[in-house]
């Protein structure tokens, strides 16, 4: 069975996060670009891969993986030589999972609430992702003193959270570009060679 990863992507989407991760781990991959405007993500061939009709998705050794943080976690484990996931018995495995899941379950929905100006859901305690302000405060604490979410160690969680923070700053999410702990972190991420390859700056 081929070891090549098939990467279903669109360059103007969350697939960029997976693209960066593929470059970080040094995977051999082939990109299939879907035209989202033309609805290629809704064609039967692709719905057989991801019934959600969304990118990104990967197929590796016959395994389909969808959902950006799941793909990131899968690649970190599939390419252990890249050292982007602490081992299961490493004390850093807990914080690693914590921030990887926090990205998808708290940061992203809180950010979208804020950007879309959605009214707060009542009762507030039922909202699993809490408030945007609490999410940002948690991330600032996690990144202090840094330089990474796991302290001195760069991990796949940084690929996910770093990408989302970079996106959030680019699109003017409040409370970010005035916070050096956040802006320095995002700059650190953007200077990684794998990230620069992803955005075509090398
Ligand atoms: N929960 C998914 C979200 C993926 C997603 O929303 N992808 C968007 C692009 S960023 C998409 O494919 N949209 C096309 C559509 O829904 O028709 C993940 O984390 O990967």
Residue 26 has which token pair? 């040094």
Residue 12 maps to which CATH number? 3.40.30.10
Clarify whether residues 69 and 112 are in a common domain.
Answer: no
Clarify whether residues 79 and 104 are in a common domain.
Answer: no
Answer positive or negative: Cα dihedral of 150, 161, 80, 194. Answer: negative
What's the CA-to-centroid distance between 115 and ligand 1, angstroms?
A: 16
What's the CA-to-centroid distance between 56 and ligand 1, angstroms?
A: 7
Q: Is residue 100 part of a domain?
A: yes
Q: What is the pLDDT of residue 201?
A: 63
36 CB-near residues (< 8 Å, 6+ apart)? 10, 12, 13, 55
- Give 36: exposed, middle or buried? Use CB within 10 Å, 0-12, 13-18, 19+: middle
Average pLDDT for residues 2-20, to the nearest whole number? 96
Residue nearest to atom 5 of ligand 1 (CA): 54
What's the CA-to-centroid distance between 38 and ligand 1, angstroms?
A: 15
Closest ligand 1 atom, CA of 42? 17
Last residue of a domain, one of 50, 83, 116: 83
Percent of the chain with pLDDT over 90: 93
Please indicate whether residue 53, judged by its CB atom, sits closer than 6 Å to ligand 1. Answer: yes
**Structural domains of the chain, count:** 2
pLDDT tens-digit profile of 69-107?
Answer: 999 999 999 999 999 999 999 999 999 999 999 999 999
Please indicate whether residue 68, judged by its CB atom, sits closer than 6 Å to ligand 1. Answer: yes
Clarify whether residues 112 and 192 are in a common domain.
Answer: yes
């Amino acid at each position: 069975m081929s070891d090549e990863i098939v990467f279903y992507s669109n360059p103007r989407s969350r697939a960029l996060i997976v693209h960066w991760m593929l470059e970080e781990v040094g995977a051999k991959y082939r990109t299939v670009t879907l035209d989202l405007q033309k609805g290629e993500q809704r064609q039967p061939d692709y719905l057989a891969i991801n019934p959600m009709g969304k990118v990104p998705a990967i197929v590796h050794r016959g395994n389909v993986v969808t959902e950006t943080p799941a793909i990131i976690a899968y690649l970190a484990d599939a390419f252990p030589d890249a050292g982007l996931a602490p081992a299961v018995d490493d004390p850093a495995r807990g914080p690693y999972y914590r921030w990887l899941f926090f990205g998808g379950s708290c940061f992203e929905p809180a950010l979208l609430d804020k950007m879309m100006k959605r009214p707060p859901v009542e009762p507030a305690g039922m909202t699993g992702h809490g408030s945007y302000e609490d999410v940002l405060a948690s991330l600032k604490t996690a990144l202090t003193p840094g330089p990474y979410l796991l302290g001195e160690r760069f991990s796949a969680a940084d690929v996910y959270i770093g990408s989302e923070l970079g996106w959030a700053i680019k699109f003017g999410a409040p409370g970010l570009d005035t916070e050096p702990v956040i802006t320095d972190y995002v700059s650190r991420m953007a200077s990684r060679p794998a990230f620069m390859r992803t955005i075509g700056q090398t």
